[in-house]
A = this chain, B = another copy of it.
Amino acid sequence: MPEVRRDAERTRAELLAVATEVFAEDGYSGARVDEIAARTRTTKRMIYYYFGGKEGLYRAVLEEAYRGIREAERGIDVDHADPVQAVRALAEVTFDHHVQHDAFIRLVAIENIHRGDFIRQIDGLREASKPAKDVLDEILQRGRAAGLFRDDVEAIDVHLVISAYCVFQVANRYTFGHLFDVDMAEAGRRAHLRSVIGDVVVGWLTSPAA
């Protein structure tokens, strides 16, 4: 394996890692190509060499971030026999996952500000997102079959409820925290927040259908 090649990979990876931080921190427009390069062992020129420019770098960051997240999600395994326990565990694990991936959530918020213009250009992302829903699907089916869950709720809706809660509690913690004078990141409060989403989903799913 040519060592040059390896350096190239390393350079690319370093650029990507730093760019992820900077874009997550300052947004697309707020991020500075100069700053990204400066935090690296390489020079600005390499951004153009490897990624074609600022936009290409941002796209690469977004893609890499989604891939990393999906990878991490695959590690999530919720094989409780009891569907109620399973869905609560899934909610909690999702919660933890979001807390741990603050930078990713910021990138997603930024991408939404841009109306998803860049994410649409990334291939294969949709496929990678399927498993998230499939796991839920399976739990819901078991729950319904056991007469534990109401039968008018679809996996995508449950996923939406869980995602919304988990994302919001990280992404909007500054404004929400300020307005209601709570520190959303403080340990005790976090534990409480974590328990709430489980209660919400279980309470909802186990209530009688409308």
Interface residues of chain A, those whose CB is within 8 Å of chain B, are 26-30, 106, 108-113, 115-116, 119-120, 125-126, 129, 133, 150, 153, 156-157, 159-161, 163-165, 167-169, 171-182, 193, 195-196, 199-200, 202-207, 210
Q: What is the copy number of this chain in the assembly?
A: 4
Main secondary structure of the interface of A (DSSP, over half): helix
List the B side residues contacting A203 at CB < 8 Å. 150, 203-207
Q: How far is the CA of A202 from the CA of B163 in the complex (A)?
A: 19
- Does B173 contact A112, Cβ atoms closer than 8 Å? yes
Sample 12 A-B pairs with CB under 8 A, ordered by A number: A27-B113, A109-B112, A116-B178, A119-B179, A126-B181, A129-B179, A150-B203, A156-B180, A160-B176, A160-B193, A199-B204, A203-B205
